[in-house]
């Protein structure tokens, strides 16, 4: 589930017990994800995480200095898992010949990824705590929507320089694209507390409709 | 702050102590809004609300059967205070002659209202609790964005029937309008935990840009 949570040992760290340490680290991350998502940030204790991961509290602290650090790791790992493929895909879209087809394919994958239940739960948790712990939300924003919008802006700027799009402000256009695709099902999921508020077919329709509205607004005439 | 929280006594309720009862009710609502927004839903106790409102716990329960009922009243009052004028304004927009000017004026007012700090705080709280208490989020959704989008759909359908807009699905177009105007600053506010993430001038620019993108996509050609 969390490929990026496993840090590869650097050569000087290699030792007999390295795999065991890595295993414990992953157990702590998996346990803490469950506990955070069930109990919220304030309601989570390092004791409970240690118990669920079947390690000592000292081991938890050896790997993660404090609760905030641990939560930051989870946000980073979960958001990167979604955002990294999106980011790569956006950059590969730059040489497209058929903007509508390619943007629809991208938007469908992006929307499905963003609507993944675990990410929806984490997003609700981060928003709920953002007033008290803005650094957690900032991390989520910068590694998630912020980064995707940056990549889209780069791509749209190139499409505009080739005459495929007509825009003054690539970052604004990128944000409009992003939210045209995601806002309807994402806001419903956030407020209604549903982890699967729409079927895959419905998500595809929202993605396609968002792309069509975007192109109707920004395509060169 | 909360004009709708004050219930007008009906004739048969009129008695010597009615104003005192109304005053207490408002004190409870004001106190509980503060306590909920500071401590979250789970972290709030009826004891603390009673202490802050300077009434007995029995008085709190006399007015509000339980914590959920009390929280629902706050959501309803706060969201209605924002959504009611929006709703009325949307319906009055129907006879516009200059769609761009009128939609920009509406969008600017709508965005300023939605970005009111107290409403942002409540939205974060509702989202944070939506997984555990979906009925609270549903109330927020239905009385807030859901209702505004319904009104916009009615208005856009009439604009389309007069040939000003070109659309197949008025509710989809209404949702696109709503989120084109609000998503950029609202998502930043939600995730970054900032209650005033943008100046009024910046909000106006987001509103205008959202309307322009909407009209570029949906205006008849």
3-state secondary structure of A190: helix
* Mean pLDDT estimate for chain A: 87
pTM for the whole structure? 0.86
Q: How confident is the model at residue A96 (pLDDT cuts 50, 70, 90)?
A: low
Q: Which residues contact A138 (CB under 8 A, 6 or more apart)?
A: B191, B192, B193
Closest Cβ opposite residue A191 in set B42, B141, B183: B141
CB atoms closer than 10 angstroms to residue A172: 19
Please tell me the distance in Å from B187's CA to the nearest CA on chain A. 9
d(CA B190, CA A136): 12
Does B188 score more than 50 pLDDT? Answer: yes
E-only strand ranges, chain B? none
Q: Cβ-count burial of A16 within 10 angstroms (0-12 exposed, 13-18 middle, 19+ buried)?
A: exposed
Please give the average per-residue pLDDT across B60-82, as a whole number. Answer: 90
Which of B40, B140, B184 has the CB atom closest to A191's CB atom?
B140
pLDDT of residue A116: 92
- Residues of chain A with C-beta less than 8 angstroms from the C-beta of B195: 131
Tokens in use for A169?
């402000």
Region B105-115: what's the mean pLDDT? 93
B118-157 pLDDT tens trace: 899 999 999 999 988 899 899 999 999 999 999 999 989 9
Q: Is B192 helix (H, G, I), strand (E, B) or coil?
A: helix
pLDDT, mean of residues B200-204: 97
Among A176, A193, A214, the residue with its CB nearest the CB of B130 is A193
Question: Chains A, B: CB contacts under 8 A, how many?
Answer: 123
Radius of gyration (C-alpha) of chain B in whole angstroms: 20
Confidence of residue A5 (pLDDT cuts 50, 70, 90): very low
The rounded distance, in Å, linking the Cα atoms of B3 and B45 is 25
- Residue A15 pLDDT > 80, yes or no? no
Mutate one of B184, B191, B204, B219 to test the A interface: name it (highest A CB count within 10 A).
B191
Average pLDDT on A170-182 reads: 97
Interface test with B, best of A179, A186, A198, A206 (most B CBs within 10 A): A179
What pLDDT does A162 receive?
Answer: 85
Q: Could you read off the pLDDT of A181-208 as tens digits, one per residue?
A: 999 999 999 999 988 889 999 999 999 9
Q: In Å, what is the CA distance from A142 to each residue of A2, B120, B217?
A: 19, 20, 29
Residue B191: which of A141, A193, A217 has the nearest Cβ? A141
With contacts defined as CB-CB under 8 Å, which chain B residues touch A191?
126-127, 130, 137-138, 140-141, 145
pLDDT exceeds 90 at position A85: no
Q: How far apart are CA A143 and CA B151, in angstroms?
A: 35
Cβ distance of B179 and A187 shorter than 8 Å = yes
> Which pLDDT score is estimated for B79?
87
From CA A138, how far away is CA A133, in angstroms rounded?
Answer: 9
Identify the residue among B183, B197, B208 best suited for mutation to test binding to A, counting A beta carbons within 10 A and taking the highest: B183
Q: Which of B128, B131, B184 lies closest to A179 in CB terms?
A: B184
Among the listed residues A127, A136, A137, A134, the one whose alpha carbon sits nearest the alpha carbon of residue A186? A127
ipTM value for the complex? 0.86
For residue A4, is pLDDT > 50? no
Which positions in chain A touch B175 (Cβ < 8 Å)? 183-184
Q: Could you give the CA distance from residue B43 to residue B39 in angstroms, rounded to a whole number?
A: 5
Confidence of residue A40 (pLDDT cuts 50, 70, 90): confident
Which of these, B113, B116, B108, lies nearest to B209 by C-alpha position? B108
Q: Which residue has the tokens 């803005």?
A: A134
Rg (CA), chain A: 20
């Amino acid at each position: 589930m969390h490929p990026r949570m496993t840090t590869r040992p650097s050569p000087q760290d290699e030792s007999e017990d390295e795999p065991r340490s890595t295993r414990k680290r992953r157990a702590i991350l998996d346990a803490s994800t469950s506990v955070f998502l069930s109990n919220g940030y304030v309601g989570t204790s390092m004791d409970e995480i240690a118990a669920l991961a079947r390690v000592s509290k000292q081991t938890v602290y050896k790997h993660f200095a404090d609760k905030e650090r641990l939560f930051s790791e989870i946000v980073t790992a979960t958001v990167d898992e979604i955002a990294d493929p999106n980011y790569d895909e956006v950059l590969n879209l730059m040489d497209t010949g058929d903007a509508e087809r390619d943007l629809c394919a991208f938007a469908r994958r992006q929307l499905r990824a963003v609507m993944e239940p675990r990410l929806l739960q984490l997003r609700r948790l981060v928003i709920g705590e953002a007033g008290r712990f803005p650094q957690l939300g900032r991390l989520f924003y910068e590694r998630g929507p912020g980064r995707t919008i940056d990549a889209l802006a780069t791509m749209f700027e190139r499409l505009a320089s080739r005459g495929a799009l007509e825009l003054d402000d690539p970052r604004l256009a990128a944000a409009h694209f992003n939210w045209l695709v995601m806002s309807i099902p994402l806001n419903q999921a956030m407020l209604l507390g549903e982890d699967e508020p729409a079927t895959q077919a419905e998500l595809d329709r929202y993605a396609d409709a968002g792309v069509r509205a975007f192109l109707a607004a920004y395509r060169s005439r």
